[in-house]
Amino acid sequence: MFSKACEYAIRATIFIASESEKGRRSSLKDIAREIDSPEAFTAKTLQKLSKNGIIVSTKGAHGGFQVEKERLSDIKISQIVLAIDGDKVYTRCSLGLHNCSEDHPCPFHSRFKPVRNSLKEIVERTSLLDLTSGLISGDTFLKI
Protein backbone atom coordinates (compact mmCIF):
# COMPACT_ATOMS: atom_id res chain seq x y z
CA MET A 1 0.00 0.00 0.00
CA PHE A 2 2.77 2.44 0.93
CA SER A 3 5.71 3.04 -1.36
CA LYS A 4 9.10 1.67 -0.29
CA ALA A 5 10.23 5.23 0.37
CA CYS A 6 7.28 5.74 2.71
CA GLU A 7 7.97 2.48 4.54
CA TYR A 8 11.58 3.55 5.08
CA ALA A 9 10.46 7.02 6.19
CA ILE A 10 8.11 5.57 8.79
CA ARG A 11 10.81 3.21 10.08
CA ALA A 12 13.41 5.99 10.14
CA THR A 13 11.10 8.34 12.02
CA ILE A 14 10.26 5.66 14.59
CA PHE A 15 13.96 4.99 15.14
CA ILE A 16 14.82 8.69 15.41
CA ALA A 17 11.93 9.21 17.84
CA SER A 18 13.00 6.29 20.02
CA GLU A 19 16.54 7.69 20.19
CA SER A 20 15.15 11.16 20.93
CA GLU A 21 13.21 9.68 23.84
CA LYS A 22 16.57 8.56 25.24
CA GLY A 23 17.99 12.07 24.76
CA ARG A 24 20.14 11.16 21.74
CA ARG A 25 20.40 12.49 18.20
CA SER A 26 20.73 9.95 15.39
CA SER A 27 23.34 10.08 12.65
CA LEU A 28 22.58 9.31 9.03
CA LYS A 29 24.80 6.22 9.23
CA ASP A 30 23.01 4.90 12.31
CA ILE A 31 19.58 5.47 10.81
CA ALA A 32 20.48 3.83 7.49
CA ARG A 33 21.97 0.84 9.30
CA GLU A 34 19.02 0.47 11.68
CA ILE A 35 16.38 0.56 8.94
CA ASP A 36 18.55 -1.39 6.46
CA SER A 37 18.48 1.31 3.78
CA PRO A 38 21.20 2.80 1.55
CA GLU A 39 22.61 6.03 3.00
CA ALA A 40 21.96 8.18 -0.09
CA PHE A 41 18.33 7.06 -0.22
CA THR A 42 17.96 7.58 3.52
CA ALA A 43 19.44 11.08 3.25
CA LYS A 44 16.83 12.09 0.64
CA THR A 45 14.04 10.66 2.78
CA LEU A 46 15.28 12.48 5.89
CA GLN A 47 15.49 15.71 3.91
CA LYS A 48 11.78 15.44 3.04
CA LEU A 49 10.87 14.64 6.64
CA SER A 50 12.87 17.62 7.87
CA LYS A 51 11.39 19.95 5.25
CA ASN A 52 7.91 18.90 6.40
CA GLY A 53 8.71 19.59 10.05
CA ILE A 54 8.46 15.98 11.19
CA ILE A 55 12.08 15.62 12.26
CA VAL A 56 14.72 18.20 13.18
CA SER A 57 18.13 18.20 11.52
CA THR A 58 21.05 19.71 13.42
CA LYS A 59 24.38 20.26 11.72
CA GLY A 60 27.79 20.19 13.34
CA ALA A 61 29.96 17.94 15.47
CA HIS A 62 27.11 17.06 17.83
CA GLY A 63 24.46 17.19 15.14
CA GLY A 64 22.10 14.59 13.82
CA PHE A 65 18.39 13.99 13.56
CA GLN A 66 15.81 14.10 16.30
CA VAL A 67 12.14 14.49 17.03
CA GLU A 68 11.18 17.02 19.66
CA LYS A 69 9.97 14.99 22.65
CA GLU A 70 6.99 17.22 23.26
CA ARG A 71 5.76 16.54 19.71
CA LEU A 72 5.88 12.73 19.83
CA SER A 73 2.19 12.41 20.62
CA ASP A 74 1.23 15.16 18.15
CA ILE A 75 2.97 13.75 15.07
CA LYS A 76 0.68 11.29 13.34
CA ILE A 77 1.86 8.61 10.92
CA SER A 78 -0.43 10.19 8.32
CA GLN A 79 1.91 13.23 8.30
CA ILE A 80 4.83 11.00 7.29
CA VAL A 81 2.73 9.32 4.60
CA LEU A 82 1.63 12.69 3.22
CA ALA A 83 5.22 14.04 3.24
CA ILE A 84 6.57 11.08 1.25
CA ASP A 85 3.70 9.65 -0.83
CA GLY A 86 1.15 12.45 -0.87
CA ASP A 87 -2.49 11.43 -0.67
CA LYS A 88 -2.42 8.86 -3.48
CA VAL A 89 -2.59 5.94 -1.04
CA TYR A 90 -6.03 7.22 -0.01
CA THR A 91 -7.31 8.02 -3.48
CA ARG A 92 -6.06 5.21 -5.74
CA CYS A 93 -7.07 1.60 -5.84
CA SER A 94 -4.41 -1.02 -5.31
CA LEU A 95 -4.42 -1.86 -9.02
CA GLY A 96 -2.84 1.54 -9.58
CA LEU A 97 -5.46 2.67 -12.04
CA HIS A 98 -5.32 6.47 -12.11
CA ASN A 99 -8.72 6.87 -13.71
CA CYS A 100 -10.54 4.71 -11.15
CA SER A 101 -13.31 6.70 -9.44
CA GLU A 102 -16.74 6.27 -7.90
CA ASP A 103 -18.30 7.02 -11.31
CA HIS A 104 -15.84 4.84 -13.20
CA PRO A 105 -14.70 2.07 -10.79
CA CYS A 106 -12.03 -0.50 -11.56
CA PRO A 107 -12.82 -4.19 -10.91
CA PHE A 108 -11.16 -4.03 -7.47
CA HIS A 109 -12.64 -0.69 -6.37
CA SER A 110 -15.51 -1.86 -4.16
CA ARG A 111 -13.32 -4.40 -2.37
CA PHE A 112 -10.39 -2.08 -1.79
CA LYS A 113 -12.27 1.06 -0.75
CA PRO A 114 -13.06 -0.14 2.82
CA VAL A 115 -9.44 -1.23 3.32
CA ARG A 116 -8.15 2.11 2.07
CA ASN A 117 -10.55 3.99 4.33
CA SER A 118 -9.53 1.89 7.34
CA LEU A 119 -5.86 2.50 6.60
CA LYS A 120 -6.46 6.24 6.48
CA GLU A 121 -8.23 6.14 9.83
CA ILE A 122 -5.44 4.09 11.42
CA VAL A 123 -2.58 6.35 10.28
CA GLU A 124 -4.52 9.48 11.25
CA ARG A 125 -5.07 8.15 14.78
CA THR A 126 -1.64 6.59 15.35
CA SER A 127 0.97 8.87 16.83
CA LEU A 128 4.71 8.51 16.69
CA LEU A 129 4.65 7.98 20.46
CA ASP A 130 2.28 5.02 19.99
CA LEU A 131 4.86 3.28 17.82
CA THR A 132 8.04 4.20 19.67
CA SER A 133 6.92 2.84 23.02
CA GLY A 134 7.02 -0.76 21.76
CA LEU A 135 10.44 -0.23 20.23
CA ILE A 136 11.84 1.22 23.46
CA SER A 137 10.39 -1.61 25.57
CA GLY A 138 11.70 -4.26 23.15
CA ASP A 139 8.21 -5.52 22.27
CA THR A 140 8.54 -4.40 18.62
CA PHE A 141 11.43 -4.27 16.13
CA LEU A 142 12.41 -2.33 13.01
CA LYS A 143 14.33 -5.20 11.45
CA ILE A 144 14.76 -8.88 12.10
Task: Assign domain 4-137 one CATH number from 3.10.520.10, 3.40.50.300, 3.90.230.10, 1.10.10.10.
Answer: 1.10.10.10
Residues 6+ apart with CB under 8 A from 20: 26, 66, 67, 68, 69, 72
Q: What is the pTM of this model?
A: 0.89
pLDDT digits (tens, 9 = 90+) for 88-121: 887 777 666 667 777 888 887 888 888 888 999 9
Q: What is the pLDDT of residue 6?
A: 94
Please report the pLDDT score of residue 47 as a whole number.
Answer: 97
The ranges assigned to domains in the chain are 4-137
In contact, 123 and 78? CB cutoff 8 Å: yes
Pick out the chain residues at pLDDT < 50.
Answer: none
Please state, in angstroms and rounded to a whole number, the distance separating the CA atoms of residues 144 and 142: 7
